[in-house]
Structure 1
Amino acid sequence: MRKKKVYKSIACLVSLLLLTVLLQSPVQAQAEETPNINAAAAILIDGDTGKILYEKNADKMLGIASMTKMMTEYLLLEAIKEKKVSWDTEYRVSDRVYKISQERNFSNVPLRLGEKYKIRELYEAMAIYSADAASIAIAETIAGSEENFVKLMNQKAKELGLQCKFVNATGLSNKDLKGMYPKNSGPNDENLMTARSTAKLAYRLIKDYPEVLKTASIPKKKFRPGTADEINMENWNWMLPGLVFAYKGMDGLKTGTTDFAGYCFAGTAKRGNVRLISVVMNAKDPSGKGSYNARFTETKKLLDYGFNEFSRQKIYPAKLQLKGYETIKVEKGKDKEVTIYTNKPFYDLVKKGEPKKYTASFTPDRSKIDKNGALKAPVQKGETVGYLTFHSETNNPLGYLSKEEEKKASIPVVTAKAVDKANWFILSLRSIGDLFDGMFSTVKSWF
């Protein structure tokens, strides 16, 4: 009897242990999926839609150091697109730019006083080697002075909806510029931005000017090869192919380091049909010390999380119709209504293995649909009448970078065919028919 009691006690104990393991395992597995990023702030987004996959202190204003140069790049590429400058535009080195270019404590290529340099070579020095004096040279070329260029930076930031403050074109701490900082800022001023806004700047830079990646992805290049000023430029993004932290798919974008900002990196990589953009600010190693290695180690964690845990999947096919919005009225058309549906499939970056449950909402285009919910004839085939926005019920997304990105992620709803305007005869018959319908309805109500 004693043995039986002992066996029963052991069996109960084992059962309790198994139950405890079964209950705890899913929680532990879930906790392991989300990375622990050792940085003051971090964010990971879908580079195609701006959907946020991870964030930490994403709205905290912090130093950005040379990640600033993404805005300098944006304004340069915009100026080239608008033909205000060209890649062959020549810049003559000013006294201030010359002095800054000789500071070996900065990231620089040496520039000769009074020498002419083409914008393309200055841009490559900035994008690959984070050359500070070259960045100021570009600012002077576009705006006449760095002071004026900083005004453009802050104007563009407002236009893009960024939460930030720019005080110079390089990201250097003003106090390190030995009095050579822009005069519309103070000696202790710093460039500041949130991780969310840094990611959005990177997102817009890649979206609006994808050619930036052709230069940002160059691991090594010589500045002014074959001249006395030749210098080897190794990209500070050590996650590029062939460099020490090489990461599959990495092709940009911008590092940044100062005593104030710490070690920062806005990175982007593409694998298959998925592009990710990550930002780490003031990255630290496990001991709490900032380092070059730390920013790439923490970036790898973020990107691994994105590529390993998420995949782009087709959620709904094209020609999807939302219940209650299968057709839309056409005022004064040959047909009284027209079929509507989505004009393309809906894809989303979702966690692998999770059920895909979405709710959809229809937003009509009020510029085309009147207050009675009707289109006015004539109507073109494929005419956009509104948008379907999909909301995940299972992935608990963190949302998008902004309402603008969320709207862009929605799918246009279009007309299935053209509807011509009805002629006066058809409209007259239709009016008579409507009159009799009204009379019959009234008579019917009497009985």
Structure 2
Amino acid sequence: MVRRPVRRRSQHRFFSHFINIVGVFLIPILLITFEIQPTSDLNLQFKQTKKEIPVLTKNIELEAKAFLVADSQTGQIIYQKNSHQSLPIASISKIIPTYFAFEALKKGQIHMDDQVKVDPKVAALSTQAGLSNVKLSASSTYSVQDLIYATLLSSANAGIMALSEHLAPLPEINQREQSFLKNLGINDFVIVNVNGLPNDMLGSLQNPETDMKADNQMSAASVATVAAKLVNDFPEVLKVSEQYNYTFKSGTAEEQKLENTNLLVKGGALADPNLEIVGLKTGTNDQGYSFVGTMKEGDNLITSVVLNSNSNESRFQQTKDYLQQFKQNYHLVRIDPNTNKNVKRACLTFKNQYDRSNVITNKINLWVPKDLTADDFHFKVDFDRDYFAKTKKPGLVLTLDLKAKTVQFLKTQDLKLYLR
């Protein structure tokens, strides 16, 4: 009978030690998690949930092998079909060396009125029957501006080679193209040359490091990523690609009238006055007819990609049909974390002291069906343990929870929030 109190004290001592041990680990976690103050060291960031807004497929027939529509700024994929299969892209390839040209222009390394001497082999290519070309002469020179217009409007194979050689030797440009794509996270490409012709059609200009019949390839998603990079970094390229015609070597004996191969720009045979198509590039080969387009929609740019359609007209008609449906059924929702009531509700649930006025961020921009509004987007807040582990500073994760299906992105929007 006298041993019972001793056993009770032993049990008490055991639980006391257990609570002390647990407290060593649990209390700091609780303090970290719940005692977060809105200071300049607090990081609050958005993360996308793995959900998707329903794609727009209403009344759309797409016979092209691959098709994709995305927001050029955010990378949000609005619609896709077979968009990750690497396919021949032909002259769409020219948007990569075009990027290098506009980059060199911005850096002052070249100028629009610079005169470019043409290699005799390149000049010979410009007269080859059956190829997209603007005739060039080795005994003449051509302005950078003329060569850019020839590339984007007439898809001049020799023109982009002459322009690229003005920047660096072609083997160096080819290597630079591959590095450029890898830096964008693109790995599904084959790059043979700057113009997109099959290697065996280039004669003495063939790339000796690849198969004789090799040609440039990329997926629709990758094409959209490159196109978005071009128009975002150098929007002035659209001042060229939106033109229906251009006078090449104006006022000289070599003057030529160029017409845009993009039939959707203003003045084109398939243009729609309700669709402001301002770019970007066509591509044609034995595999089919391809097109990467750029449409202005308010302050946003929409990228469309058609790969390997059945005819010249069908690539444009499919693009037009889809974009018409897109304008009729979708709208842009801008979610401002500083004013959105659902953001406030989520943050207050986590911590009453959260001050929404301290948030510094960009709005979240999403294309959604017109029956969805900003109030249909809900959020939750969690402690960001990864951020704390890296910085030893408290941080929060504000997660977007959509009342719809999943949003997919070519690249992630900048959804980080910082408190002052």
Task: Sort the TM-score into its range (normalised by shorter chain).
Answer: 0.7 to 0.9
Report the Cα offset of residue 272 of structure 1: 2.3
| Higher RCO structure (Cα 8 Å, ≥6 apart) | 2
Answering whether residue 157 of structure 2 is matched by residue 147 of structure 1, we say: no
Q: Give the whole-Å Cα distance in 2 for the aligned partners of 1:118 and 1:150.
A: 22
Report the Cα offset of residue 199 of structure 1: 0.7
Return the letter of the residue paired with 1:313. Answer: V
Corresponding position of 1:412: 417
Corresponding position of 1:236: 261
Q: Give the whole-Å Cα distance in 2 for the aligned partners of 1:325 and 1:64.
A: 52
Matches within 5 A, 1:292-303: 292-303=312-323
Matches within 5 A, 1:144-293: 144=169, 146-162=170-186, 163-247=188-272, 248-260=275-287, 262-283=288-309, 290-293=310-313
Report the Cα offset of residue 203 of structure 1: 0.8
Q: Give the whole-Å Cα distance in 2 for the aligned partners of 1:412 and 1:303.
A: 33
Report the Cα offset of residue 33 of structure 1: 2.0
Return the letter of the residue paired with 1:259. Answer: D
Report the Cα offset of residue 370 of structure 1: 3.9
Corresponding position of 2:377: 357
Relative to 1, partners in 2 of residues 1:113 and 1:276: Cα closer, same or farther, differing over 3 Å?
Answer: same
Matches within 5 A, 1:115-134: 115-134=140-159
Report the Cα offset of residue 115 of structure 1: 1.7
Cα RMSD (Å) of the superposition?
2.7
Corresponding position of 1:44: 69
Matches within 5 A, 1:424-443: none
* Bigger radius of gyration: 1
Deviations 1:50-72 (A, max 9, x none): 10011111110100011001101
Deviations 1:210-247 (A, max 9, x none): 11101010110111122221111000000011110113
Relative to 1, partners in 2 of residues 1:317 and 1:142: Cα closer, same or farther, differing over 3 Å?
Answer: same
Deviations 1:79-118 (A, max 9, x none): 2223332223322111111111111311111111132222
What is the TM-score when the length of structure 1 is the normalising length? 0.73
Runs of 4 or more consecutive aligned structure 1 residues displaced over 6 Å after TM superposition: 362-365
Find the residue that maps to 1:295 and give its secondary structure: helix
Corresponding position of 2:160: 135
Q: Is the 8 A contact 2:102 2:234 kept in 1?
A: yes
Corresponding position of 1:397: 406
Report the Cα offset of residue 357 of structure 1: 2.9
Q: Give the whole-Å Cα distance in 2 for the aligned partners of 1:358 and 1:114.
A: 66
Q: Give the whole-Å Cα distance in 2 for the aligned partners of 1:362 and 1:211.
A: 42
Find the residue that maps to 2:359 and give its secondary structure: strand
Q: Name structure 1 gaps, 5 residues minimum.
A: 1-29, 284-289, 329-336, 375-385, 416-447
Q: Give the whole-Å Cα distance in 2 for the aligned partners of 1:172 and 1:348.
A: 37
Deviations 1:101-139 (A, max 9, x none): 111311111111132222121111111211110100111
Relative to 1, partners in 2 of residues 1:81 and 1:178: Cα closer, same or farther, differing over 3 Å?
Answer: same
Deviations 1:384-409 (A, max 9, x none): xx775534231x234100xxx3242x
Corresponding position of 1:332: none
Find the residue that maps to 1:412 and give its secondary structure: strand
Deviations 1:153-203 (A, max 9, x none): 111011111231211000111222234322332321110000100011111
Return the letter of the residue paired with 1:397. Answer: T
Q: Is the 8 A contact 2:337 2:361 kept in 1?
A: no
Corresponding position of 1:373: 394
**Number of residue pairs matched by the alignment:** 354
Corresponding position of 1:90: 115
Relative to 1, partners in 2 of residues 1:270 and 1:189: Cα closer, same or farther, differing over 3 Å?
Answer: same
What is the TM-score when the length of structure 2 is the normalising length? 0.77
